[in-house]
Amino acid sequence: MIKDIRIVSRRFNLPQSHTLEVARQHGAYRSIETLTERTPEGIIAAVEASGLRGKGGGGAPTGAKWRLMEGEFDGRPKYVVVNADESEPGTFKDGHILSKDPHLLIEGILLTCYALGAHDAYIYIRGEYYERQQILQHAIDEAYEAGILGQSIMGHDYRVDLTVHRGAGAYICGEKSALLESMEGKRGHPRLKPHQKEPEWYFGNPTLINNVETIATVPFIVTEGADAYRQYGTERSPGTLLFALSGHVNRPGVYEAPFGTSLMEYIEHYGGGIRNGGTLKAVIPGGASTPVLTADEAAQARLDYESMQGLGSALGTGGMIVMDESVDMVEALKNLMAFYHHESCGQCTPCREGTGWVDAILARILAREGNRDDLKKLLDISETMNGKTVCVFAPAASSVIDAMVQKFETEFLRYLDTGGAA
Amino acid sequence: MSTQSVTITVDGTPIEVNPDRMLLPELLDKGFSIPHFCYQESLGSDGNCRMCMVEIAGKKRPQISCDTPIVAGMEVRTRGESIEKVRRDILELELINHPVDCPICDQAGECSLQDYYMEYGLYQGKVDKKEKHHFDKHIDLGANVLHDQERCVLCQRCVRFCRDVTHTDELCVAGRGDHSYITTIPGETLHNAYAMNVTDLCPVGALTSKDFRFQQRVWFLATSPSVCHGCAKGCAIDIDHAKSKYHDDTIYRFRPRKNPEINGEFICDAGRLSYKETQTYLLRTCLAKEEILADAEALDRMKAILTEDEYPIVVLADANLYTEELAALQAFARTFHAQLYAPLEAYHDPAFGDDWLKSSQRAANAEGVKRLGIATEMPTLNDNTLVINVNHPDGHRTANRIDLLTHRPDENTERVPARLTLPIAPWVRSSGHLINEDGIEQYCEQVLRRNDPTPTLLERLAHFLDKGDDTILDNMETAL
Amino acid sequence: MSFTWTSAHRAELDALKERYPSPKALVLPALWKVQEQEGFLSLEGIEAVAELTGYSKAEVYGVATFYTMFHLQPQGTYTLQVCKTLSCALNGQGTILDHLKERLGIEVGETTPDGQFTLTQVECLGSCGTAPVMQVNDTLHEHLTPESVDTLLDTLSDKGGSL
Ligand SMILES: Cc1cc2nc3c(=O)[nH]c(=O)nc-3n(C[C@H](O)[C@H](O)[C@H](O)COP(=O)(O)O)c2cc1C
Ligand code: SF4
Ligand code: SF4
Ligand code: SF4
Ligand code: FES
Ligand code: FES
């Protein structure tokens, strides 16, 4: 049976949890009050030892990423950027942190800045999160007034300034290098990958980017210790994640759970099962860029990186889209490909042209004007989109196409066999 | 090569390469054919077209060679079933929104896209025409540049040129995804003095020159290497010309010719368009005041004036003349005890100069003039001096004068009529050396075949110099 | 036409400049302020942003056209942004959209003749758990039903365009 574990969401249900007063009554900023007890190295070491993995979708080890920020870099300033672009369909967990416990995020940012020697931090928030941005900004204003942010954080001889940077409607700006391009005032075109391990660069200065939830996990690790975090989850996916449910479940929403939880148990326990007592057909496990799981696969799935990978999918952001037997999978894929078509930054050929072509072919299939070659064509284009582009947007789309077409081929064939030019 | 070269293996053959560069430029220099749109020698890599894929041993996926650093011992494959399929597939995607209208495209014959899809056997468009996106096909970007958005492959070379080379930033990619397009901000145009270079940079027919459009299919053109005479920079150019039946050999355009020491791969628009001046308003007849003379008659009269008149003689030479021509004028001056000047002040044009290529010294061989020790000031002249004006822009102030001119005098300038006027061929009809303002000497071939009987300056001068006397040649040798 | 920053915006931008390593970072914040002032991005507004940030006008134009929330044309008083992505589609966004089209008598991308409502479809609004959703200007409306949409439109129409 599932036991509730609340690390990041522990204050979510308190009335007025977003206010400084309530947050402080329930432990916010303790780690900053006692900052003198810690060294930057101590904080980095704790994050490293906790095994914390990035919660923006990639699951990269956070400690190792922080280590890339060590060094002098010719005295250039260091920056911390929090990724609150959250635009991956099916994903809405960061929004909960922003609106329910913004002070947890600010506390995490302070610790991160202090650990890495950064004095300026930014939160890049998607433009559509206007109301959530208002709440966040209010929390930041409160923190400034209380001397928690600013020239000397909670009286310590350390400055941290925090600025919210509003996006304007572009999923790709969640990709870290596109995000930085956007913050440099440019179009959100992802950058070419560096040839060696190095930090990100903001106007040529070393910069760390982490997801909202990743940073919001740091206070717990710092105050409770790496082992306290590691007691949850699995060996290789330690801790918890704010998983989310949407689609055909009775109680959609965001519920924190340890990595390794059984997917079906999670759906039952938190989601209250399939809507209207229906049967499960498929689950997209971690946001729209993870390959779909059939009901059979979902039955074996555990919510951790390794298990999902073992099933040929990915944990992604942990935002699950649950589909019952009423769903037409051709329409579902068309819906997702319309998204990819709309959101491709357009920089590289395979993605710019591939997403549009796939979208057009699916439209043709749905209009019953497709032919059997179209399925092969879809897989061919998908192959060209895989591993040949600047960023992993196109490969993600490719994996989504492959899984849908391969796992639900009969549904596609039904469109092609009843009419059409086959 | 400045650094130690290293050995890598390409398609089974070991080659020596410079490890400081990315793989693609090295492979291209070594003669490998690798399709590429966005990489461009002067603009560098951008990594957006994904065409330049090669296989690298040990890497699971093909890599874009324009962003692959060279490592000693690496094994590269540019040919073979699998990598060619990758390229073909990407090319096919590139073509799905492209009109493939080569028969009516100006770029046909010098289009990378066309070359590649012929090479990769994609001639028949695989996508339904009706599924293609339609964009604007005839956009006037200003500065003689026309844009066809449907043909654009979004390599961003044009944007990068205006951003990184001219720093004028008139162009941008607008829109997103497959609705992206190249544009200026509405209502504005290209406004830099080098804008037409984007028509050379564009790898397809998406940016074409309004000036050149539909004038000639490129495969009819002959190309001669030459040097622009627009200013003292002396940019290296290729001159494209063609002789069609019943027509004179005609110049259709100047294009930059690569010369890393002078102009890289670029020229200014003024220089580019100056080809027109080489074939319009040319002087073809000899005149005595208003009276038309036969060439032989004019020469006789000129000889007579030179030998019979008692006036001291001053020769005013155009500082655009080739070094050989200037040297010949020196010999001529010696023969007739004349003073030779090539006054440079007349060519000073501060409005023209900038901090890149364009020089405020508009004379192409001002440096050659100086090296030959020819006086560069304007002498005080009156009608007690006989002036032999060899195409000098300020040479028409006195009446006691013989003109040797390439062009018909501009009717708008106030001009004292010369006693005698003889045409000489423009620079594209002769050959010789120029020394640019940085002291770099270049040779200009004769570009045009003889269209009309107008002699070159050297041919004219030959009549006045003792055939046995090889002073001219001597002088030329010391000059060079 | 010309564009001048309101003094409040100008002051905010000046203060914001101190927060960044380069004024170039101000492109998005400044474009937002132009849109706030004008309701859309005029070319003059774009020019003002170019001047402020040191980018060229064309570059700022390229940026403005990249992001879907920036409008280069005036919009209706209320821009209805109906989420069309999967979780909302699974939960009846189609019904909501049809209802809106019928009630307003316009298609997606159009504005009602009185200039009140512009109907658009957008990708996932990050509120999949409360699907179907739509954002009206900057305000999110969740768990939509045809009835709740009617009530909402009634209230907005009553306000007669004042926000
Ligand atoms: C297309 C694309 C979209 C992304 N969107 C987001 C996002 O909205 N939020 C996020 O935190 N990370 C997103 N990422 C991942 C980021 O690039 C980056 O890895 C992450 O922010 C790093 O933080 P983390 O290590 O804490 O997860 C996206 C990646 C890609 C390729
Ligand atoms: S893969 Fe797509 S989103 Fe990523 S850089 Fe290329 S075009 Fe842009
Ligand atoms: S117009 Fe030509 S140079 Fe410019 S992006 Fe398009 S294809 Fe490239
Ligand atoms: S800079 Fe001078 S030499 Fe070069 S192309 Fe222009 S006019 Fe000709
Ligand atoms: S030339 Fe290498 S990606 Fe375009
Ligand atoms: S799918 Fe509509 S809010 Fe996410």
Tell whether C71 is covered by a domain: no
Domain co-membership, A275 together with A411? no
Domain boundary among A294, A324, A354: A324
Residues with CB under 6 A from ligand 6: A 89; C 83, 85-88, 124-128, 131, 133
CA distance C82 to chain B (A): 20
C-alpha–C-alpha distance, residues B286 and B422, integer Å: 5
Residues in chain C: 163
Give B453's pLDDT tier (boundaries 50, 70, 90).
confident
Domain co-membership, A313 together with A353? no
Measured between beta carbons, the chain C residues lying within 8 angstroms of A89 are 85-87, 123-124, 128
Q: Counting ligands in written order, which one lies closest to the CA of residue B37?
A: 5
CA atoms lying within 13 Å on the CB side of residue A363: 10
CA distance A9 to chain C (A): 16
Give the Cβ contact number of residue A191 at 10 Å: 17
Q: What is the domain range of residue A410? A: 329-418
Q: What residue in A sits closest to B65 (Cα-Cα)?
A: A388
Domain co-membership, A56 together with A82? yes
- For residue A392, give the ligand 1 atom closest to its CA: 31
Tell whether C30 is covered by a domain: yes
Domain boundary among A173, A194, A229: A229
Chains with 3 or more CB pairs under 8 A to chain B: A, C
Instruction: Detail the DSSP E strand segments found in chain C.
Output: 78-83, 117-122, 134-136, 139-141
Residue B345 touches partner A, C-beta closer than 8 Å: no
In this structure, what token pair is assigned to residue B307? 């030998």
Strand partners, B421: B287, B403
Q: Is it the case that residue A33 has pLDDT exceeding 90?
A: yes
Domain co-membership, C53 together with C107? no
Q: What residue in A sits closest to B69 (Cα-Cα)?
A: A195
Instruction: Compute the count of residue pairs across chains A and C with CB atoms less than 8 Å apart.
Output: 147
Separation of CA B94 and ligand 3 centre (Å): 13
- A72-130 pLDDT, tens digit per residue, is 999 999 999 999 999 999 999 999 999 999 999 999 999 999 999 999 999 999 999 99
Residue C68 touches partner A, C-beta closer than 8 Å: yes
Measured between beta carbons, the chain C residues lying within 8 angstroms of B176 are 65-66, 68
* Amino acid, res. B272: R
Tell whether A96 is covered by a domain: yes
CA separation (Å) from A351 to A174, A334, A346, B177, C73? Answer: 17, 16, 7, 8, 28
Domain total for chain A? Answer: 3
Judged by CB atoms closer than 8 Å, whether chains meet at C43 and B186 is answered as yes
Tell whether C2 is covered by a domain: no
Q: In chain B, which among 412-471 make CB contacts under 8 A with chain A? A: none
Residues with CB under 6 A from ligand 5: B 36-39, 47-52, 64, 66
- For residue B201, give the ligand 3 atom closest to its CA: 3
Q: Is it the case that residue C18 has pLDDT exceeding 60?
A: yes
Phi-psi region of A142 (alpha: psi -120 to 50; beta: other; left: phi over 0): alpha
Domain co-membership, C150 together with C89? yes
- C22-57 pLDDT, tens digit per residue, is 999 999 999 999 999 999 999 999 999 999 999 999
Mean model confidence pLDDT for chain A: 97
Domain co-membership, A39 together with A133? yes
Tell whether A3 is covered by a domain: no
To probe the interface with C, which of A86, A184, A242 has the most C CB atoms within 10 Å? Answer: A184
For position C130, which CATH number holds? 3.40.30.10
Tell whether A374 is covered by a domain: yes
Which member of C46, C61, C66 has the closest CB to residue B176? C66
Domain co-membership, A77 together with A165? yes
**pLDDT for position B29:** 96
Domain co-membership, C93 together with C140? yes
C-alpha–C-alpha distance, residues A133 and C4, integer Å: 26
Answer whether B202 contacts ligand 3 (Cβ < 6 A): yes
The percent of residues in chain A predicted with pLDDT above 70, rounded, is 99
Q: Is it the case that residue A418 has pLDDT exceeding 70?
A: no
- C96-141 pLDDT, tens digit per residue, is 999 999 999 999 999 999 999 999 999 999 999 999 999 999 999 9
Q: Is it the case that residue B222 has pLDDT exceeding 50?
A: yes
Domain co-membership, C95 together with C21? no
- A18-28 pLDDT, tens digit per residue, is 999 999 999 99
Give the Cβ contact number of residue B299 at 10 Å: 18
In this structure, what token pair is assigned to residue A260? 């390794």
Mean pLDDT, rounded, for A290-301:
98
Q: What residue in B sits closest to A389 (Cα-Cα)?
A: B50
* Amino acid, res. C103: R
For position C58, which CATH number holds? 1.10.10.1590
Q: From edge to edge, which strands make up the β-sheet containing B139-142?
A: B139-142, B145-147, B207-209
Separation of CA B475 and ligand 6 centre (Å): 84
Separation of CA B251 and ligand 3 centre (Å): 26
Domain co-membership, C135 together with C105? yes
Domain total for chain C? Answer: 2
Which member of C43, C62, C65 has the closest CB to residue B187? C43
C-alpha–C-alpha distance, residues A116 and A120, integer Å: 11
C-alpha–C-alpha distance, residues A290 and A404, integer Å: 11
Across B405-414, B419-428, C154-163, which has the greatest mean pLDDT?
B419-428
Tell whether A362 is covered by a domain: yes
Strand partners, B237: B226, B256
Domain co-membership, C56 together with C123? no
Domain co-membership, A45 together with A173? yes
For position A256, which CATH number holds? 3.10.20.600
C-alpha–C-alpha distance, residues B269 and B260, integer Å: 19
Tell whether A116 is covered by a domain: yes
For position A68, which CATH number holds? 3.40.50.11540
- A151-167 pLDDT, tens digit per residue, is 999 999 999 999 999 99
**pLDDT for position A420:** 43
**pTM (two decimals):** 0.94
Residues with Cβ < 8 Å from A152, sequence gap 6 or more? A158, A159
**pLDDT for position B127:** 54
Of A347, A337, A346, A389, nearest to B86 (Cα)?
A389
Domain co-membership, A157 together with A250? no
Q: From edge to edge, which strands make up the β-sheet containing A293-294?
A: A253-258, A240-247, A319-324, A280-284, A293-294
Domain co-membership, A128 together with A190? yes
CA separation (Å) from B117 to B60, B114, B330? Answer: 26, 5, 57
Domain co-membership, C23 together with C46? yes
Residues in chain A: 422
Judged by CB atoms closer than 8 Å, whether chains meet at A183 and C86 is answered as no
Evaluate whether A137 touches A98 at the Cβ level (below 8 Å).
Answer: no
Domain co-membership, C62 together with C90? no
Residues with CB under 6 A from ligand 4: B 228, 230-231, 233-235, 263, 267-268, 270-271, 357-359
**pLDDT for position A421:** 42
Residues with Cβ < 8 Å from C155, sequence gap 6 or more? none
Give A216's pLDDT tier (boundaries 50, 70, 90).
very high
Measured between beta carbons, the chain B residues lying within 8 angstroms of C44 are none
Q: What is the 3-state secondary structure (H, E, C) of chain A?
A: CCCCCCCCCCCCCCCCCCCHHHHHHCCCCHHHHCHHHCCHHHHHHHHHHHCCECCCCCCCEHHHHHHCCCCCHHHCCCEEEEEECCCCCCCCHHHHHHHHCHHHHHHHHHHHHHHHCCCEEEEEECCCCHHHHHHHHHHHHHHHHCCCCECCHHHCCCCEEEEEEECCCCHHHHCHHHHHHHHCCCCCCCCCCCCCCCCEEECCEEEEEEEHHHHHHHHHHHHHCHHHHHCCECCCCECEEEEEEEECECCCEEEEEECCCEHHHHHHHCCCCEHHHCCEEEEECCCCCCCCEEHHHHHHCECCHHHHHHCCCCCCCCEEEEEECCCCHHHHHHHHHHHHHHHCCCCCHHHHHHHHHHHHHHHHHHCCCCCCHHHHHHHHHHHHHCCCCCCCHHHHHHHHHHHHHHHCHHHHHHHHHCCCCC
CA separation (Å) from A264 to A276, A297, A308, C131? Answer: 17, 10, 13, 22
In this structure, what token pair is assigned to residue B96? 């799905």
Residue B173 touches partner A, C-beta closer than 8 Å: yes
Residue C69 touches partner A, C-beta closer than 8 Å: yes
CA distance A350 to chain B (A): 6
Which residue among A176, A242, A336 is best mutated to probe the pocket of ligand 1, counting the most ligand atoms within 8 A of its Cβ?
A: A176
Domain co-membership, C28 together with C84? no
Domain co-membership, A153 together with A24? yes
Domain co-membership, A192 together with A163? yes
Domain co-membership, A147 together with A104? yes
Phi-psi region of C48 (alpha: psi -120 to 50; beta: other; left: phi over 0): alpha
Tell whether C22 is covered by a domain: yes
Domains for chain B: give ranges and CATH numbers: 6-94 (3.10.20.740), 131-209 (3.30.70.20), 218-278 (2.20.25), 286-479 (3.40.50.740)
- A251-265 pLDDT, tens digit per residue, is 999 999 999 999 999
Tell whether A84 is covered by a domain: yes
- B178-209 pLDDT, tens digit per residue, is 999 999 999 999 999 999 999 999 999 999 99
Q: Counting ligands in written order, which one lies closest to the CA of residue A395?
A: 2
In this structure, what token pair is assigned to residue C108? 């997606």
C-alpha–C-alpha distance, residues B303 and B296, integer Å: 11
Q: What is the domain range of residue C16? A: 7-66
C-alpha–C-alpha distance, residues A210 and A54, integer Å: 7
- For residue B48, give the ligand 2 atom closest to its CA: 6
Give B470's pLDDT tier (boundaries 50, 70, 90).
low
Domain co-membership, C82 together with C132? yes
Domain co-membership, A45 together with A155? yes
Q: Is it the case that residue B471 has pLDDT exceeding 80?
A: no
Domain boundary among A205, A229, A253: A229
In this structure, what token pair is assigned to residue A182? 């956007």
Q: Counting ligands in written order, which one lies closest to the CA of residue B65?
A: 5
C-alpha–C-alpha distance, residues C160 and B182, integer Å: 40
Q: Counting ligands in written order, which one lies closest to the CA of residue B158?
A: 3
Domain co-membership, C93 together with C156? yes
Tell whether C73 is covered by a domain: no
Tell whether A178 is covered by a domain: yes
- B347-370 pLDDT, tens digit per residue, is 999 999 999 999 999 999 999 999
Angle, alpha carbons B274-B275-B277 (nearest 5°)? 70
Q: ipTM exceeding 0.85?
A: yes
Measured between beta carbons, the chain A residues lying within 8 angstroms of B53 are 388
For position A388, which CATH number holds? 1.20.1440.230
Evaluate whether B420 touches B439 at the Cβ level (below 8 Å).
Answer: no
To probe the interface with C, which of A128, A317, A326 has the most C CB atoms within 10 Å? Answer: A128
Chains with 3 or more CB pairs under 8 A to chain C: A, B
Of B73, B56, B363, B97, nearest to B206 (Cα)?
B97
Judged by CB atoms closer than 8 Å, whether chains meet at C61 and B185 is answered as yes
Domain co-membership, C35 together with C61? yes
Residues in chain B: 480
